[in-house]
Amino acid sequence: MITRVAIIGGGPAGLMAAEVLAAAPDAGEQARVIEIFDAMPSLGRKFLMAGKGGMNITHAEPLADFVGRYGERAAQVAPLLDAFGPTQLREWIHGLGIATFVGTSGRVFPTEMKAAPLLRAWLHRLRGQGVQFHVRHRWLGWAADGSLRFATPAGAVEIKADAVILALGGGSWAKLGSDGRWLPLLVERGVPVAPLKPANCGFDVAWSAYFSERFAGAPVKAVTARCAGLPPKQGEFNITATGIEGGLIYALAAPLRDALARDGTARLILDLAPGRSLERLTADLARPRGRDSLANHLRRHAAIEGVKAALLREFCPPAELNAATTLAAAIKSLPLTVTATRPIDEAISTAGGVAFEALDGDLMLRDLPGVFCAGEMLDWEAPTGGYLLTACFASGRAAGLGARRWLESTD
């Protein structure tokens, strides 16, 4: 007897689930037909986009620190990473003939820095294992008899499957297929799902017209930022016409987003001169200005110029800028109020999704036996730096193994 497994979603989680299921069956296992269905014309589109500027596949920090990056969901993600974490992921990539290296920040990259060679090698191997791909198949939910419904260019189709793995992504980058349109389909079936919300996202700031026009696109480097009573983080970010974005902002996106939802407002506190103490900065700025303009005084005695100086003018009244004590205090603790997250479709990733409480240890939905969930559609979030992809790979592998066990148990 041949069993049929339908994997809906052709990103890293779905492809990894397919690989696990397509592996040579153990003695006594039934033959399987493994099929991947994706709404897009090709597979792995968001994966390819993520690697466009340099494919950061995972991170080389100790596993305990790595797991901590998943915040409130660390306990649920930890078992997935124990089974298939950063080390195993790198070994798996090497098995595809793709070398990797660890960058100075601890981030791990393929040697070629691109996602396309990895994806090509992976799809080639999956085809060789008999995995079948069906593109331009948008999942529409279930028919009355339990069949899976799809919209295709040739019209609606229905298929029966012995097991289903849902790996449909989150709700950002809709043009690449990650549009969250699966959410109401699961809600209709009573699956507990948290609303999707932007993660690793930018924020709106009420800039003056002058600042927005003059500094949009400018990088703000060598600063620290803190919010919501959390320890400060160092990095850099970019000014946009409407607000702020970039690595440092993404690292603080979750507490900023949650503060906005809770309080209607949120603030970043910037330290524009993290290498100097407040006392030293105050002493340096107390030196006589003579005929120097404020701009020259800031540049000469505080190394503050360009966009940093403009940020001070944007948020500080003139009297505050003309006294050494208040000017130094502003440089070390400049409040920047954000007014809203950027739209979810602009976010790198999303939070929310299928609640872990709705799943068993094999990532099978408790109320829908034989249906498994994996990847970004689960309710977890993580910062950029390889953490998102690693958990997608790990959860896809777990769902694939879970589906194998389910099929064995129902023989």
Within 8 A by CB and 6+ apart from 14, the residues are 7, 8, 36, 38, 165, 167, 374, 375, 396
pLDDT of residue 30: 64
pLDDT of residue 228: 80
Q: What is the mean pLDDT of residues 19-38?
A: 81
The rounded distance, in Å, linking the Cα atoms of 80 and 75 is 10
User: Phi and psi dihedrals of 387, rounded to 5?
Assistant: -70, -40
Q: Considering Cα of 280, then 286, then 291, then 297, what sign does the dihedral take?
A: positive
Q: Tokens 């946009």: give the residue.
A: 240
Among the ranges given (48-57, 110-119, 345-354), the one the predictor scored with the smallest mean pLDDT? 48-57
Domain boundaries, the chain: 2-198+352-409, 203-341
pLDDT at residue 203 above 70? Answer: yes
End-to-end Cα spacing for the chain: 9
Percent of the chain with pLDDT over 90: 85
pLDDT at residue 25 above 90? Answer: no
pLDDT band at 50 (very low <50, low <70, confident <90, very high): confident
pLDDT band at 24 (very low <50, low <70, confident <90, very high): low
Q: Which fold has domain 2-198+352-409?
A: FAD/NAD(P)-binding domain (3.50.50)
pLDDT of residue 166: 98
Q: What is the DSSP string of 117-134?
A: HHHHHHHHHHHHTT-EEE
pLDDT of residue 410: 83
CB neighbours (10 Å) of residue 294? 15
pLDDT at residue 27 above 70? Answer: no
- Model pLDDT for residues 95-146, shown as the tens digit of each residue: 999 999 999 989 999 998 899 999 999 999 999 999 999 999 999 999 999 9
- Pick from 403, 391, 397: nearest CA to 57: 391
Residue 99 exposed, middle or buried by CB count within 10 Å (0-12, 13-18, 19+): exposed
pLDDT at residue 289 above 60? Answer: yes
pLDDT band at 28 (very low <50, low <70, confident <90, very high): low
Within 8 A by CB and 6+ apart from 157, the residues are 137, 149, 150
